[in-house]
Amino acid sequence: MAKRIGVLAVQGAFAEHEAMLSSIGAECRELRSAADLEQKPDALVLPGGESTVQRKLLMESGMLAPIKSWIEEGMPVLATCAGLILLAEHLSNDERTCFKTLPVTVRRNAYGRQLGSFITEAEVRHIGMMRQNFIRAPYIEAAGPGVEVLSETDGHITAVRYKKQLALAFHPEVGPDTRLHEAFLRMI
């Protein structure tokens, strides 16, 4: 049976994740309001976008607490960019934490204005070299015990796994490379 992925769809790059996941056989369901949480998915995607807006909409819609419980209970989650910010236990330059299920310290908009967006090639552990797309990206300043570092660029951590949480500063949903999404589906 196809794996059912709940994709947070309040703001940001959710459609790209849905297209990629559908192309590799998963079934996506958009999570826009508390009513969409009645059917529990097998896994979650928290897409890129603007984390402060996503956080506000999560609080207003009543989805924050139930989604946090799902993650704490071990539901696999793939988080990219703003999604990583939502998962982080600590933010070094902002007070607006959200789910706080991932024991890392994240810096928002970490690459500054000059280098706000860029593409690089870097190794991702268990996968290999990947073209990585950074869009006004955060990076991970510190990772707590039990957090596996999967990728680094210029000395900064850009991808981690902690239990069933896979979190990336870059955007694997952009472009033709489906390996990361395939690895995520194997975590379910």
Ligand X SMILES: NC(=O)CC[C@H](N)C(=O)O
Match 């006004």 to its residue by tokens.
136
- Please tell me whether residue 140 binds ligand X under the rule CB under 6 A: no
Is 121 annotated in a binding site? The answer is no
- Please tell me whether residue 136 binds ligand X under the rule CB under 6 A: yes
Least spacing, CB of residue 39 vs ligand X, in Å: 27
What is the phi-psi region of residue 10: left when phi exceeds 0, alpha when psi lies from -120 to 50, beta otherwise? alpha
- Please tell me whether residue 150 binds ligand X under the rule CB under 6 A: no
Radius of gyration of the chain (CA): 15
The tokens describing 134, both together, are 């950074």
CB 31 within 8 A of CB 15: no
Least spacing, CB of residue 179 vs ligand X, in Å: 20
Nearer to ligand X, 4 or 56 (CB): 56
Enumerate residues 53-92 that contact ligand X by CB under 6 A.
81-82, 85
Nearer to ligand X, 42 or 50 (CB): 50
DSSP 62-81: T-HHHHHHHHHTT--EEEET
Rounded CA-CA distance 167/103 in Å is 11
Is 135 annotated in a binding site? The answer is yes
Is 127 annotated in a binding site? The answer is no
Q: Which residues bind ligand X (CB under 6 A)?
A: 48-51, 81-82, 85, 108-109, 135-137
